[in-house]
Amino acid sequence: MSINFIEASIEKLVVHKVGNKVADENFVISKKEVILDKETTLLLSHYFLSQFKSAELYRFYHDTELSYNETYSYTSKIFTDPSLLIEQSSNIARHLYNQSTHPKIKGGEFYLVYFKNCVLDGEILDGIGLFKSENKDTFLEVEPIIDGFEIESRKGININKLDKGVLIFNTQKETGFILSIIDNTNRNIEAQYWKDDFLGVEPVKNEFHQTNQFLGITKQFVTKQMTEDFEVTKAEQIDLLNRSVEYFKTNDKFEKNEFEKTVFQNKELIESFQGFDNSYRNTNDIILSDNFDISSQAVKKQIRAFKKVLKLDKNFHIYIHGDKDLIEQGIEKDGRKFYKIYYKDES
């Protein structure tokens, strides 16, 4: 799915203050919308929307019934009647405050924004944005005075750094709407409160999700499980990671059997991978198809996490991009380890 905000406009905006509940920080509810001039509207549009570029999309869910998901329920009411924005935004802010119970969660301003003219896969839609600013930057103001200048420092929000945000598109309401999410702060366990506790979402099972998940499973197998089942060198691990990425880069469609034969090639290795794949899916409650269209955006995202560098002590880094048969590993009689590298051209 593609997202476009070229014509998007802010129709309504309300701001609340949400602190950390267990730290007894303030929870301040606003009772009126913010009135914006044209310049501030443009700055806020950039702040709220410019970082939503990922093809990874989500939907609200609940284990029992979708209507029990509080953020889904409150935003549904706003889409039905935008005049309820202040009332329902207060409910959403209170819900966020009640989930802010980890000691490392930072307080901050919480914004609810009603957008018009958001485009999702060519369809023009209304959208609701929920944003939280947790970090402040220091800015310097230089002011002229008689015979010189004075400099003052101020704390404020950097409009190029959105901390947390979610855009909820008014489509597919029956299955939990379509959401795009950003969380640029505290990506550890305590930060999951934004997606899991406050929003309550699950990934949309599209080609991005399928590609991203399968490459992730492959990486887990090669870097962890395979070393327990077989004697493999770091160079061989990197070679398998390269082959798996190459398969996804050179094919439009994923075929699991073809992937296994192309990448692993060895019957015992394929059987080990299949066992790990099934176990990983069951343990992590992941449902994947054995055939799907490949997402180039997901491949680009995963490539960054695939290690291609062989680090030897603190002296050498060997970057391996292809044929593992051109590199040999051995041990000298005195116990020193070595790699022998074959090549044709030097550049």
pLDDT in tens, 258-285: 999 999 988 999 999 999 999 999 988 8
> What's the CA gap between 240 and 223, in Å, rounded?
10
Does residue 347 form part of some domain? no
Q: What is the mean pLDDT of residues 227-239?
A: 80
User: 346 lies in a domain?
Assistant: no
> CA distances (Å), 334 to each of 82, 307, 316, 327, 329, in order?
77, 30, 20, 21, 15
Cβ(129)–Cβ(164) below 8 Å: no
Number of folded domains that form the chain: 2
Q: Do 185 and 214 reside in the same domain of the chain?
A: no
- Domain endpoint, select from 156, 178, 204: 204
Return d(Cα 232, Cα 235) in angstroms, integer: 8
Note the pTM of the prediction, 2 decimals: 0.79
Which is more confident, 296 or 344? 296
Mean pLDDT of 215-237: 84
Q: Within this chain, do residues 140 and 215 fall inside the same structural domain, yes or no? A: no
Tell me the one-letter amino acid at 331: I
* Last residue within a domain, chosen from 187, 204, 221: 204
**Residue 271: predicted pLDDT:** 92
334 domain residue, yes or no: yes
* Paired residues of 12 in beta bridges: 114
Range of the domain at 305: 208-341
Say whether pLDDT at 50 is over 80: yes
Asked if residue 193 and residue 214 are part of one domain, the reply reads no
Give the pLDDT score at 270.
93
Are 199 and 213 within one domain? no
Question: Using 50, 70 and 90 to split pLDDT, how confident is the model at 14?
Answer: very high
Tell me which H or E stretch contains 257.
helix 256-263
The SS3 of residue 99 is helix
Question: Among 28, 7, 239, 194, which Cα is nearest to 117's?
Answer: 7
Regarding whether 256 and 169 lie in a shared domain, the answer is: no
Which residues 6+ apart lie within 8 Å of 154 measured at CB? 138, 139, 140, 141
Closest Cα to residue 155, out of 135, 169, 175?
A: 135
pLDDT, tens only, 54-70: 778 999 999 999 999 99
Q: What is the largest CA-CA distance in the chain?
A: 83
Q: In this structure, are 333 and 313 located in the same domain?
A: yes
Across 132-146, 150-164, 168-182, 300-314, least confident range: 300-314
Do residues 212 and 195 both lie within one domain? no
Which single residue is written with the structure tokens 């160079």? 235
Query: Residues with Cβ < 8 Å from 141, sequence gap 6 or more?
Result: 151, 152, 153, 154
Confidence of residue 1 (pLDDT cuts 50, 70, 90): low
Q: pLDDT, tens digit, for every residue of 291-337? A: 999 998 888 887 766 655 555 666 555 566 556 666 666 677 777 77
